[in-house]
Every structure is written in C-alpha cells, then in structure tokens.
Amino acid sequence: MRITHPPVHGRPTTALPVDKWRWLMAVNFDEETYGQRWQVETVMFMLKQHQGAGISACTNGIRQREMALMAITHNIMIVLTVVLFCRACQDLFILWKLLYPNYLSLGG
C-alpha cells in the first residue's frame, strides 16, 4: 500500500505513531516525490484544459500512443508559445527603436 498523505494530524510530537498505518505513513513517506506532485497536477490540468479530458482508444497500446501524442502536442504548444512571445518582443523592440531612435543612445 503506497502512502501519499503525510501523517501530520493531531498534536505535534517527535515520537512515531502507535497505529500501524500511521506508523507506515511516518516511516515510508517520500517527501521528495510528493513535493513534485503539484507539478504533475499542473501539467495534467493544462493537458485536459487545452486538449480535452477524454481518450478514445480502447486497447492499452493505442491508449499509450494517444497519451504520448498528447504530451508531444503539449510540448510543441509550449515551444511555439515561447517562440511567438520572443518574436513579438523583438518586433516591439524594433518598433520602439524606430519610433524613438535617440532614447537609448549614450552620447550627448
């Protein structure tokens, strides 16, 4: 049985819990892995929001390929967003230099 919630309910103490399951939670809880859960949940939310929550495949192999395709599409969308943002910033900088050529000059 894998534990995903830390045993921090009740009065603060340094002693291990007596109950079997709470003791297992206290001993086996992996904070490093659980600390990355918010990142995974954020990516899953973005995938569902932009590409839909459903997978139409029936077999396991096709389901895995469809999820891989969704992940690749998600990564391409991120790269295109960054590229387009950088291009827009460059265009604005060029426009700024055309409108105000002496604004950034150091000479007198």
Hey, where are the domains in the chain? 36-99
Residues 12-64: tens digit of each pLDDT: 778 888 888 888 888 887 777 777 777 778 877 877 777 777 778 889 988 88
* Selection from 51-55, 64-68, 92-96, 100-104 with the highest mean pLDDT: 64-68
Task: Give the pLDDT score at 2.
Answer: 64
Distance, CA of 26 to CA of 1 (rounded, Å) = 13
How many CA atoms, within 13 angstroms, populate the side-chain half-sphere of residue 105? 8
Percent of the chain that is helix, strand, coil (3-state, to 5): 65, 0, 35
Q: Is the pTM of this model over 0.85?
A: no
Percent of the chain having pLDDT more than 70? 84
Residue with tokens 């103490």: 13
Which band of pLDDT confidence, cut at 50, 70 and 90, is reported for residue 106? low
Both tokens assigned to 67: 């999820």
Distance, CA of 23 to CA of 31 (rounded, Å) = 15
Task: Give the pLDDT score at 37.
Answer: 76
